[in-house]
Amino acid sequence: MLRRVAAAGLVGLLLALLLAAAAWLATPGVGDARERVDALLAGHGAPALQGELPERATLAVLATEDSRFADHVGVDWRGALRAPWGVVTGVDQGGSTLDQQLAKNLYEDGAADPLARLRSVVLAVKLDAHWSKEELLRMYLDMAYFGHGFHGVTAASEGYFGLAPDQLSWSQASLLAGLLQAPSAYDPLQHPERAAARQEHVLDRLVDVGTLTRAEADEVADASWELVSG
């Protein structure tokens, strides 16, 4: 009995390895990812991020979108465990890493069908293997859409606040991070109450990961966004 179970397990492992190898060969290389991001920015007349990564905006995005970014290899195993059920049901189960989001938008044209999601997982691993974590973060911040035609964190920072990304306050950085999930639904100009509620979630995550204390987060929540345009 134990031998049959062991044999079945070995067969399953071999099949999984074969499927992984096939998926790796069937998806493109990712050495052109930066070129694709730059082409996206050029298509929208948006500037690329200059200088070092903006600390507050980066930390707010990581806390909200992918708090295990520094530790995983492109795919977070906790999200990956939910992926098969999502493929069966057609419902996104969440857990997408920054790498997976990059893969989806740069190589799958935003498609979210089951096969596209599976390809995005493989591409995410390729991205993590090819590019440094800092390079991936820079590409993500440049690719991200923040609403009102603002593509990339530079355009969003200048458009909403009249500031460079590295000049953002915690209030402004946490607001921007909250927009990533649904820029229209959390539009601070059209739906300020929704935007504030989403910002509170971002601040809660910043507290959860230890970036801010609860008292600091509460103070940030009361601070003005100082919006200048939209």
Query: What domains are there in the chain, each with its CATH number?
Result: 145-230 (1.10.3810.10)
Q: Determine the pLDDT at residue 12.
A: 52
**Which parts of the chain fold into alpha helices (H)?**
2-26, 33-43, 55-65, 77-89, 98-107, 114-130, 133-143, 153-161, 170-179, 192-208, 214-222
User: 87 in helix, strand or coil?
Assistant: helix
Q: Determine the pLDDT at residue 94.
A: 47
Inter-residue contact 159 to 171 (CB < 8 Å): no
What DSSP character marks residue 145? B
Q: Determine the pLDDT at residue 84.
A: 44
Q: Which of 58, 55, 60 has the alpha carbon at shortest distance from 220?
A: 60
Q: Determine the pLDDT at residue 15.
A: 59
Q: Determine the pLDDT at residue 113.
A: 85
Phi, psi (5° rounding) for residue 105?
Answer: -85, -30
Q: Determine the pLDDT at residue 19.
A: 59
Q: Write the pLDDT tens digit of every residue in 155-185.
A: 999 999 999 999 999 999 999 999 999 999 9
What DSSP character marks residue 184? T
Q: Determine the pLDDT at residue 118.
A: 87
Give the predicted TM-score (pTM) of the model: 0.85
Q: Determine the pLDDT at residue 178.
A: 97
Cβ atoms within 10 Å of 59's Cβ, excluding its own: 20
Give the relative orientation of helices 114-130 and 98-107 as an angle to the nearest 10 degrees. Answer: 110
Weakly modelled stretches of the chain, pLDDT under 70: 1-20, 22-23, 78-95, 229-230
The total number of residues shown for the chain amounts to 230
- Taking phi first (over 0 means left), then psi (-120 to 50 degrees means alpha), and beta for anything else, what does residue 152 get? left
Phi, psi (5° rounding) for residue 152?
Answer: 90, 150
Q: Determine the pLDDT at residue 110.
A: 85
| Rounded Cα gap, residues 107 and 104, in angstroms | 6
- Taking phi first (over 0 means left), then psi (-120 to 50 degrees means alpha), and beta for anything else, what does residue 190 get? alpha
Q: Determine the pLDDT at residue 9.
A: 56
